[in-house]
Amino acid sequence: MDPSSTAFFLCDLQERFRPIIYGFEHVVSTTNKVLKFAKILGCPVLVTTQKTKVLGPIDPAVNLESLGSLHVATYDKTLFSMLTPEVLAFLESRPHIKSIVLMGIESHICILQTALELAAHPTKYKTYVLADAVSSANRAEVPLALYRISAQMRAANITVTTSESLGFQLLRDASRTEFKAFSNIIKEEKDATAKAVEALLGQRSAL
C-alpha cells in the first residue's frame, strides 16, 4: 500500500443522519483523523452524498475544508453504491489509483455495495473498509456487514481494518519525513480513537 496510489472515499456522512446512526459522532471523529492522514500523505479524498435535496449536505463537523485541493469532489447520488458514473470517471482519470479506503454509512448498504463493486471492477482495486469509521442505524447490522465483507470477500481484495492500523500501513517507515506529523496526530487523537474503537468495535470481537 502506497500513499501515491491510494484514495479515500467518504460515503454519505450527512447531517440529517446524525440522530439515527449508531455512534455517528465517533464515525465523524475517526473520519476527521483519517482526513488528517490524507492531508499529510497527499491522498485524494472523494465524497458522496445521498439525495441532498431530501437528506441535506455532509455534516459540517466533517472537516473537508482542511483538505484544500485534495478534496477532489463531492458527488450526489441515488445509487446505494458509491460507484456512480462520476466516480467511475474519476477512477478512470487516475489509473495510478490502486487502493481505496472506505468510510461512512451505512455499513450494510452503501459501504458493502461499494466494496463489492470495487472488488468486481476490472481494475480489482484493493479495498480497505475502516471498521472504526463506518456504522449503521441499527447497531446489530454493522458486525454482520463487516463479517460478510471480511469473511466472505478476503479473496476479492477487500480488507476490514482500523484507521490507526491503516495509517501505519500507509506510512510504512518511521524515517519518512511525514512521520513526525503523523505521530502527532496519533497522540492528539489517542482518546478519541479509544472511544471510537470501544463504541464501534466493542461488540465485534467475533470478526
pLDDT at 158: 86
132, 162 Cβ separation under 8 angstroms? yes
- Catalytic residue, from 36, 39, 77, 132: name it: 77
Nearest Cα residue to 12 out of 93, 112, 90: 112
76 is catalytic: no
Distance of CA 19 to the CA centre of its chain: 20
In which residue ranges of the chain is pLDDT below 50? 205-207
- Catalytic residue, from 11, 33, 110, 132: name it: 110
How far apart are alpha carbons 207 and 203 in whole angstroms? 9
Q: Give the type of residue at 76.
A: D
pLDDT at 207: 43
Ranges of each domain in the chain: 3-201
Whether a cis peptide bond, with omega within 30° of 0, leads into 198 is no
pLDDT at 150: 64
Specify the pTM.
Answer: 0.92
Q: What is the pLDDT of residues 139-156, one digit of tens each?
A: 777 776 676 666 655 556
Q: What's the fold here for domain 3-201?
A: Rossmann fold (3.40.50)
Nearest Cα residue to 130 out of 14, 29, 52, 206: 29
Nearest Cα residue to 189 out of 39, 31, 9, 71: 31
- Catalytic residue, from 12, 33, 36, 132: name it: 12
pLDDT at 135: 93
